[in-house]
Amino acid sequence: MHQTGYTRASTLGPIAKVVTAAGGSIERVFRRADLPLALLESPDTLLPLRDHFRLLMVTSRELHDEVFAARLGRQTSMAGLGVFGRWVTQAPTLLEAMHRAGTSLPHMLQTATQLVVRRHGSEIHWSYELTDPARDGRQQNEMLAIWYMIAVVRHFAGAWWLPSRIIFEGLPPRLRCPIGELMCTDTAIGNTASAIVFDRRLLTAVNPNLGRDDGLTATELGRIFDLPDPEDLPGRLSVLIELELLDRRPTLSRIGIRSGLARRTLQRRLSEVGLSYSDLLRNALQRRAVKLLCQTDRSISEIGSMLGYDDPAHFSRAFERWSGVPPTRWRRLQESRLRPDAKRVAGMISGQTE
C-alpha cells in the first residue's frame, strides 16, 4: 500500500542561499508552493513529502533550471540534518553508518522512504526508494537525496570522494549529461530505484572522528522520533496544523483541503477516536506557544499575534487555561529553573569555592 510521507524542513538544505545566488526570489518560490517562508527558520518542522517535492519543482521552474536540486545538493551536508546527521556520522564504519541511516530515516527524518543496500559482485548499490505516490517534483527530490547519500560516504572516504556511477530512475535522457557534469561522475538511467554505486571494499572505511566524545543524549534522540504513522490520522493532521501555524491560524476547511478529506469526513473520523479539530488546534497552539516562550525573546504580545490572537489578553487567558499560570509567569519560572546560581558562578570566576 502506498504511504503518504513526511519529511523535515532541514532536508531542503541551504535552499534560500542557492536560490538567491541564482537570481531568484525565495519569497516568490515559497508563495507559489503555498508554504510558509518561516520553514527556513524551523528546520525540525515536518511537512508532507508532496509539499517538499512541489517546492523543489517550483524552484526549478523559478530558476529555469531542470537540475536545480542537483546544484542544491552540492551544498548540502549531513550536519544540516541535525540529530539524524549526527547519529549517522558518528558510526564507527561506513557499513554501520549506512545501516543507521536506513533504519532510522523513516523514524527520525523522512517517512515512506527506504535506503536499501544491495551487493552486485564487487560493487555496492545503495538505493533511495520511495513509496509515497506523489510524482510532481519527485525527480528533483531524488537528485537532492542522492547528494545526502554521497555526503554520508564522503564523511568516511574523504571530502573529494565520488561514486563510480549514479543511477537515476526514469531520468530524461537530456538531463544525463548536465547531471553527470554537476556530479563529476558517470550517470546512468535505470528502471528501478535511484542509487549510488561504489566499490564494496569501502564499507570497512573507519570513521576519521572515531573516539570523539560527542555522542547523542537520550533526550536528543527521543525528541526527534515524532513522525506520524500512516494510520495515525490525528498525528497527520497535527503535522498540517503546526505547518500552517508558521504562517496563519489554520481553519478546519484549510486543513481538510490539505489532508484531502471532506470537512465532515475529517470531523467524523476524529470523533471516532474521541477527538475534535479544536482539540488538535489547541494542542498545537500550546506546543508552539511553549516553544516560542522558551526559544525566543519575543514579547507576549508578539507571540500571541503569531498564534493568531488579536488581543494579547486573549492569548494570556488561553495559555493560563492550558498551563495553570499566565505566559509571563511561566517564562519567569522556566528562566529561574535554568539559570545557574549567580553567586556560585561569581565564585567560580574569582577562583573561590563555596
Same domain assignment for residues 196 and 238 = no
User: What integer is the mean pLDDT of 327-341?
Assistant: 79
Same domain assignment for residues 215 and 94 = yes
Q: Strand order of the sheet with strand 123-130?
A: 113-120, 123-130, 194-199, 165-169, 186-190
pLDDT tens, residue by residue, 106-115: 989 999 999 9
Same domain assignment for residues 28 and 146 = yes
Same domain assignment for residues 36 and 10 = yes
Same domain assignment for residues 215 and 253 = no
Instruction: Give yes or no for residue 16 having a pLDDT over 50.
Output: yes
Beta-bridge partner residues of 167: 188, 195
Q: CA-CA distance, 335 to 292, in Å (whole number)?
A: 13
Q: CA-CA distance, 233 to 261, in Å (whole number)?
A: 11
Note whether residue 311 is domain-resident: yes
Note whether residue 201 is domain-resident: yes
Q: Rg for the chain (alpha carbons), in Å?
A: 23
User: What integer is the mean pLDDT of 136-146?
Assistant: 95
Q: How confident is the model at residue 336 (pLDDT cuts 50, 70, 90)?
A: confident
Note whether residue 62 is domain-resident: yes
Note whether residue 344 is domain-resident: no
Same domain assignment for residues 197 and 270 = no
Task: Find where cell 492550558 sits.
Answer: 322
Structurally, the chain folds into a number of domains equal to 2
CB-based contacts of 231, cutoff 8 Å, min separation 6 = none
Question: What is the DSSP annotation of 138-180?
Answer: HHHHHHHHHHHHHHHHHHHH-TT---SEEEEET--GGGHHHHH
Any idea what the CATH number is for the domain that residue 305 is in? 1.10.10.60
The residue among 103, 112, 100, 196 whose CA lies nearest residue 154 is 196
User: What integer is the mean pLDDT of 186-194?
Assistant: 89
Say what the pLDDT of residue 223 is. Answer: 55
Q: Domain limits at 317?
A: 232-338
Note whether residue 295 is domain-resident: yes
Helix H or strand E encompassing 127: strand 123-130
Note whether residue 346 is domain-resident: no
pLDDT tens, residue by residue, 203-221: 999 999 887 756 666 666 6
Same domain assignment for residues 201 and 265 = no
Say what the pLDDT of residue 262 is. Answer: 94
Any idea what the CATH number is for the domain that residue 22 is in? 3.90.1520
Note whether residue 160 is domain-resident: yes
CA 133 to chain CA centroid, nearest Å: 19
Say what the pLDDT of residue 230 is. Answer: 78
Model's pTM, two decimal places? 0.87
CB-based contacts of 195, cutoff 8 Å, min separation 6 = 125, 126, 127, 128, 166, 167
